[in-house]
Amino acid sequence: MNQLGKQIQEMSQIVDAPPLLPIPKVEVATFCRSEEVTEAIRTAAIDRRMARATVTIKSGGIREATALYGGITSPNLVVVENDDDEVRLMAALEALAVECVTGTKVIVIGRSNDVSLYKKLLDAGVSDYLVMPFEPMDFVAAVHRCFRSSTEEKLGRIVAFVGAKGGTGSSTLAHNVAYAMSNRVDADVLLADLDLQSGTLGLNFDIEVANGMLDVLESPDRLDDVLLRRLAVTYTDRLHLLPATTDFNKFFSLREDNVDHLLEVARSSSWHIVLDVPHIWTQWTRKILLEADEIVITATPDLASMRNAKNLIDFLKKARPNDPPPRLVLNKLGTAKLPEIKPKDFVAAVGLQESVSIAFNPHLFGAAANNGKLVIERAPTSEAGRAIVALAWRVGGTRERRTHQKGLKALLRNVFKRTKPTKPKASSALRKKVGEFKASETGASAVEFALIAPVLALALVAMADLGFAIYERMTLDHALRAGAQAAMADPGATQVYKVMQSTLAKSANLANTTVAAVTRYCACPENADVKPEAAPECGKTPCANSAPELIFYRLDAATLYRPMSAPEVLPDFDLNSSIQVEVR
């Protein structure tokens, strides 16, 4: 019996798999027998990717679905829970297929982990099979597979930047991260400024565009891939910009369907989309934050930012239960004469585990803004530049995200956490010292390097040994070629031997080289492949048809190579080379 459930689970956990895109506008009818399946589907139905789908949950199984759709039109997808054996299941599916209209897809939920059953269901036309128990995201993934386009794989990611309040630097951060992403991902990046009247994208990139987002918003219905590429301003080969207009004579009222259409067109072009979302709360900004694959909240270390960030994070955690929490960037740390909340306290208060900190550097950011340049362009190796690059790696999906800390540091930390004092009456000074030692990470990098340095040193010595061995083998081949050239004139075995010895004498590294006696022998044309030991004496054996004998020279050389590294790493070994020459 093959374990189908384990295989499906492993397939769903493939690293760097494309993110699940929103399910299209379809009708999904589910027929559940157990409370376990009902609860899992009910949780999956409120996921953001299922927002466009209409999910109805009914009690029953395949027979109830067959009876229902005998009188009404079946929906786009029918999900049925089964507890019958294989024979009854296949018969019930045939009856259901008769009642459903053409194009209706079916997902079966069961407890059997048999791969043969899975293959039979696929052969019968079932779209997918889920093994109980399953997670809500497994159900979303199954629905996504049913309606995934086979001709166009949409790989674009949506990264939304929003400030906890005005003036946090969210726009500047979004612009720099988009530029860094364009240099590090294998897809184009589209940076869109959604602050429609007061956006700073044009200023930060030093570009002047008459319309930009204006053309996109004035005719959203005719927007497609070709038009979007024509309207976007190409800043680099990989970075495209949609700046906002500065015309205060025009008013805009974005709708959710306009935002959906823009994101769908950009995603269909396999573009990564970075959205600079203004600090306002409307239906379309809420829609963007719910649809985004990554959300970055920029805050300053003050009370107002902490309150707004906490409210926004709590909302997103509740509205996106199957997604990782948003990322937090604490900007303008260390501002002079300004009391601020410590980053550790700020992160704990808003309910997150980590954050990215960017120190206050007015000279760097001010000079970049006034000159129409990005910080990542002017000072990529600065502290702020390195923080921006690290954030671009995370939100760009080019590295594993939200992984737990691994390596020696995590191992030592886990050991210290699990270590319990053997003497319950230890002195307070000793307990304090132990606590400081547990919290300290001083010297961890040195310990890690000390552990890996011997391995690296042995590897380098072994590589050098291999290089020297290849060089000595090439020297042996050179000596044999010199002997072969001398043998072409048939001067005799002794003279060829002397030529090889003189050639080897010029190399000081081959003092231990042994040149075997050069063998000269003859053979008839019909027996040219005879070995030197078995060859007849030259001129003593007549050849067929009175043909002349062929004259051969056999040259051999060998040396013992003694490596520099320890014998356990690379032991001594012989280098051999030989050549056979036919005199014409």
Are 515 and 577 in a shared domain? yes
Query: Residue 244 is part of which domain span?
Result: 158-395
Helix (H, G, I), strand (E, B) or coil at 90: helix
pLDDT digits (tens, 9 = 90+) for 57-84: 999 999 999 989 888 888 999 999 988 8
Are 315 and 191 in a shared domain? yes
Q: Is the pLDDT score of 418 beyond 70?
A: no
Residue 562 pLDDT: 79
Q: How far apart are CA 167 and CA 198, in angstroms?
A: 13
Are 164 and 118 in a shared domain? no
Q: How far apart are CA 316 and CA 325, in angstroms?
A: 7
Contact present, 472 and 514 (Cβ < 8 Å): no
Are 215 and 83 in a shared domain? no
Q: Which residue has the tokens 């050639």?
A: 503
Portion of the chain with pLDDT greater than 70, in percent: 81
Are 471 and 346 in a shared domain? no
The band of 113, judged by pLDDT with boundaries at 50, 70 and 90, is confident
**Contacts (Cβ under 8 Å, ≥6 apart) of 286:** none
Question: Is 413 domain-assigned?
Answer: no
Helix (H, G, I), strand (E, B) or coil at 78: strand
Are 335 and 199 in a shared domain? yes
Question: Is 419 domain-assigned?
Answer: no
The band of 11, judged by pLDDT with boundaries at 50, 70 and 90, is very low
Q: Enumerate the β-bridge partners of residue 299.
A: 330
Q: Which of 345, 360, 395 is the last residue of a domain?
A: 395
Question: Is 247 domain-assigned?
Answer: yes
pLDDT digits (tens, 9 = 90+) for 472-516: 888 888 888 888 888 888 888 888 888 888 888 777 665 566 676
Q: How far apart are CA 78 and CA 56, in angstroms?
A: 10
Question: Is 446 domain-assigned?
Answer: no
Are 29 and 98 in a shared domain? yes
* Crossing angle between the packed helical segments 303-319 and 343-350, to the nearest 10 degrees: 40
Q: How far apart are CA 50 and CA 164, in angstroms?
A: 27
Contact present, 330 and 355 (Cβ < 8 Å): yes
Contact present, 277 and 162 (Cβ < 8 Å): yes
Q: Is the pLDDT score of 13 beyond 50?
A: no
Q: Is the pLDDT score of 154 beyond 70?
A: no
Q: What strand order describes the sheet that includes 27-32?
A: 54-59, 27-32, 77-81, 105-110, 128-131
Query: Which among 192, 197, 195 is positioned nearest to 249, based on CA atoms?
Result: 197
pLDDT digits (tens, 9 = 90+) for 308-319: 999 999 999 988
Domain holding 355: CATH number?
3.40.50.300
Q: How far apart are CA 447 and CA 407, in angstroms?
A: 12
Are 118 and 180 in a shared domain? no
Query: Which among 133, 136, 122, 107 is positioned nearest to 40, based on CA atoms?
Result: 136
Is residue 220 exposed (0-12), middle (13-18) or buried (19+ Cβ within 10 Å)? middle
Q: How far apart are CA 77 and CA 62, in angstroms?
A: 13
Contact present, 18 and 141 (Cβ < 8 Å): no
* CA triple 263-268-272, angle to 5 deg: 65
Contact present, 31 and 81 (Cβ < 8 Å): yes
Q: How far apart are CA 120 and CA 87, in angstroms?
A: 11
Is the pTM value of this prediction over 0.75? no
Contact present, 488 and 580 (Cβ < 8 Å): no
> What is the per-residue DSSP string for 496-542?
HHHHHHHHHHT-GGGTT-EEPPPEEEEE-GGGTT--GGGPPPTTTSP
pLDDT digits (tens, 9 = 90+) for 239-266: 988 888 766 666 667 777 777 777 777 7
Are 142 and 162 in a shared domain? no
Question: Is 405 domain-assigned?
Answer: no
Residue 377 pLDDT: 87
Q: Which of 91, 125, 146 is the last residue of a domain?
A: 146
Query: Which among 83, 31, 90 is positioned nearest to 55, based on CA atoms?
Result: 31
- Our count of domains for the chain comes to 3
Residue 1 pLDDT: 38
Average pLDDT score over the chain: 80
Q: How far apart are CA 184 and CA 123, in angstroms?
A: 43
Q: How far apart are CA 168 and CA 381, in angstroms?
A: 22
CA dihedral 329, 331, 333, 337 (to 10 degrees): -140
Question: Is 104 domain-assigned?
Answer: yes
Query: Which among 59, 69, 82, 70 is positioned nearest to 27, based on CA atoms?
Result: 69
Whole-number CA gyration radius for the chain: 37
Of 50-64, 161-175, 257-271, 466-480, give the lowest mean pLDDT range: 257-271
Three state DSSP letters for 186-239: CCCEEEEECCCCCCCHHHHHCCCCCCCHHHHHHCHHHCCHHHHHHHCEECCCCE
The band of 223, judged by pLDDT with boundaries at 50, 70 and 90, is confident
**Contacts (Cβ under 8 Å, ≥6 apart) of 385:** 375, 376, 379
Instruction: Kindly state the average pLDDT of the residues 519-544.
Output: 83
Question: Is 406 domain-assigned?
Answer: no
Are 23 and 87 in a shared domain? yes
Report phi then psi at 351, rounded to 5: 85, 30
Question: Is 424 domain-assigned?
Answer: no
Residue 171 pLDDT: 92
Query: Which among 142, 136, 69 is positioned nearest to 108, based on CA atoms?
Result: 142
Q: Is the pLDDT score of 456 beyond 60?
A: yes
Q: Is the pLDDT score of 148 beyond 90?
A: no
Q: Which of 342, 364, 395 is the last residue of a domain?
A: 395
Domain holding 76: CATH number?
3.40.50.2300
Are 192 and 54 in a shared domain? no
Instruction: Kindly state the average pLDDT of the residues 199-216.
Output: 77
pLDDT digits (tens, 9 = 90+) for 24-38: 888 999 999 999 999
The band of 519, judged by pLDDT with boundaries at 50, 70 and 90, is confident
Q: Is the dihedral of CA 378, 382, 384, 387 positive or negative?
A: positive
Q: Which residue has the tokens 């950009």?
A: 266
**What tokens does 100 get?**
């459903």
Is residue 367 exposed (0-12), middle (13-18) or buried (19+ Cβ within 10 Å)? middle
Are 45 and 172 in a shared domain? no
Q: How far apart are CA 158 and CA 193, in angstroms?
A: 13
First CA to last CA across the chain, in angstroms?
70
Q: Is the pLDDT score of 119 beyond 60?
A: yes
